[in-house]
Amino acid sequence: MKLFVTGATGFIGGHFLNAAMAQGHEVVALRRAGSSPRIKLQQEPCWVVGDLDIDLRANLHNDLRHEIGRCDVFVHLAAHSANPPYDNYAQCLYWNASASLRLAEQAYECGITQYLIAGSCFEYGLSAERYERVPAAAPLEPTASYPASKAAASLAFQSFARQHLVQLKILRLFQVYGEGELETRLWPSLRRAALAGEDFSMTSGAQLRDFTEVSDVAHQLVAALEFGNVAAGSPQVSNLGSGQIQSLRDFAEYWWQHWNAKGKLLIGAIPYRQNEIMRLVPELDVIMRDE
């Protein structure tokens, strides 16, 4: 299978490339000028340099349009401002919704009819706290710019699939961690402090989450490239996670012990973020389909 992949140099994107190419998939990957993968790739894809709002219809890109036209699946992993502090609403909506849909439209014009889109668990926002395990059909009630833009993109991609009668899967990813993750996020911050023998300040850690190691996420995304059960024009939305509920405190304490840290976990030293979602765990066995 030949894939056109966005976000290929990102945290999840690099792991996805390794998993996909190890299984024999051919990859055409979009990357920004000057960007490079966060992890070592086992082999190089066919790189295309440009932003998400690249114009494939320009004469300059006639060869690129032909190359993308040979692809079977559009895999969209790119995300703008996925980590706090988020960019403003206008920028998040432009890159995560408008530019992303415009690129998907161009891929459709090139002949691609299968689409795999990475969504975010934070699209659920406040509604997640009303469920023991939030189903994919739950209302989207995001509380900030990035989650709102991903929710808008989810709705727009589903409309795109219905309009063009293409096969579409949206997988909303829950708490992904591991090698290549942005250094300011929890897991790499914990590791840095633990290995340096420093104390680590954190919230009280009562947030309930589903933590999934990034290589597992990558393999689940590769498995999702099978579209045999997806009807054209009937988009599928599902959650992707480990199925295990864990408090942020338990997660931190596990890794602190795993790294044999000499410092202390300063639990409760910092406050929760504004609009913190305290329970955000997925229901994994339900797929939302259009009837």
Does residue 286 register a pLDDT over 50? no
Distance CA 113, CA 220 (A): 21
CA 197 vs CA 157, 200, 251, 261, 263: distances in Å: 46, 9, 18, 6, 5
Q: Report the range of poorest mean pLDDT among 89-93, 186-190, 273-277.
A: 273-277
Does residue 15 register a pLDDT over 90? yes
pTM: 0.95
Type and span of the H or E element at 272? none
pLDDT-derived band at 190, boundaries 50, 70, 90: very high
Residue 7: the pLDDT is: 97
Q: 29 and 8 in contact (C-beta within 8 Å)?
A: yes
pLDDT digits (tens, 9 = 90+) for 132-152: 999 999 999 999 999 999 999
pLDDT-derived band at 61, boundaries 50, 70, 90: low
Residue 60: the pLDDT is: 58
Q: Report the range of poorest mean pLDDT among 1-10, 55-64, 240-249, 251-260.
A: 55-64
Q: What is the mean pLDDT of the chain?
A: 95
- For the segment 241-246, the average pLDDT, to the nearest whole number, is 96
Does residue 65 register a pLDDT over 90? no
CA dihedral for 106, 109, 110, 115, sign (positive or negative): positive
Residue 291: the pLDDT is: 39
Eight-state DSSP code of residue 134: B
- For the segment 103-125, the average pLDDT, to the nearest whole number, is 97
Does residue 58 register a pLDDT over 90? no
Residue 67: the pLDDT is: 83
pLDDT-derived band at 290, boundaries 50, 70, 90: very low
Residue 288: the pLDDT is: 45
- Ordered structural domains, the chain, with CATH: 2-177+212-242+283-289 (3.40.50.720)
Task: List helix spans (H) across 88-204.
Answer: 89-93, 100-109, 145-164, 186-196
Residue 103: the pLDDT is: 96
Residues in contact with 154: Cβ distance below 8 Å, sequence separation at least 6, in sequence order: 117, 119, 123, 140, 170, 172, 237
Q: 224 and 183 in contact (C-beta within 8 Å)?
A: no
